[in-house]
């Protein structure tokens, strides 16, 4: 895989998340992919791991169902061989609490045969987003 192909895949990952397209998102992962999430929640640290498509799809489905990404922006990407790192930001709307929090992310990804084999996501909430006047 070359740099351009990896860059396109990184953008497809985030497009699928923003569009809440679970099928498109799952198709980007290999059947044996490992997905780690580690971050500072608003009240407690959050950590979760899914290994393989049997664990990965339910985790991604839960994320898509629970959190809506708004004002998503990729701030920077680094690509080295089959690995990439992406720094991004989004307003995360929780369908459970109704709150929106500006959150920053750093994702570490590894690819094989144009699919993700390893995805580690680190995040930290920055600040609540005030309700916008209607």
Cα 35 from chain centre: 10
Report the sign of the C-alpha dihedral through residues 50, 58, 113, 8, in that order. Answer: negative
pLDDT in tens, 81-133: 999 999 999 999 999 999 999 999 999 999 999 999 999 999 998 877 655 54
pLDDT in tens, 42-53: 667 789 999 999
Write the burial class of residue 92 (CB in 10 Å: 0-12 exposed, 13-18 middle, 19+ buried): buried
Cα 22 from chain centre: 12
Which domains, from first to last, does the chain contain? 3-128 (3.10.450.50)
What is this structure's pTM? 0.89
């Amino acid at each position: 895989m070359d740099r351009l192909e990896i860059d396109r895949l990184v953008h497809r990952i985030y497009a699928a998340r923003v569009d809440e397209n679970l099928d498109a998102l799952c198709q980007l992962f290999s059947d044996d992919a490992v997905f780690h999430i580690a971050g500072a929640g608003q009240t407690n640290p959050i950590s979760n791991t899914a290994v393989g498509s049997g664990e990965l799809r339910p985790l991604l489905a839960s994320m898509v169902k629970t959190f809506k990404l708004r004002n998503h922006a990729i701030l920077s990407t680094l690509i080295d061989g089959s690995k990439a790192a992406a720094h991004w930001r989004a307003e995360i709307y929780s369908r459970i609490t109704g709150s929106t929090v500006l959150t920053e992310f750093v994702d570490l990804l590894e690819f094989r045969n144009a699919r993700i084999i390893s995805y580690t996501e680190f995040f930290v909430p920055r600040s609540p987003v005030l309700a916008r006047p209607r």
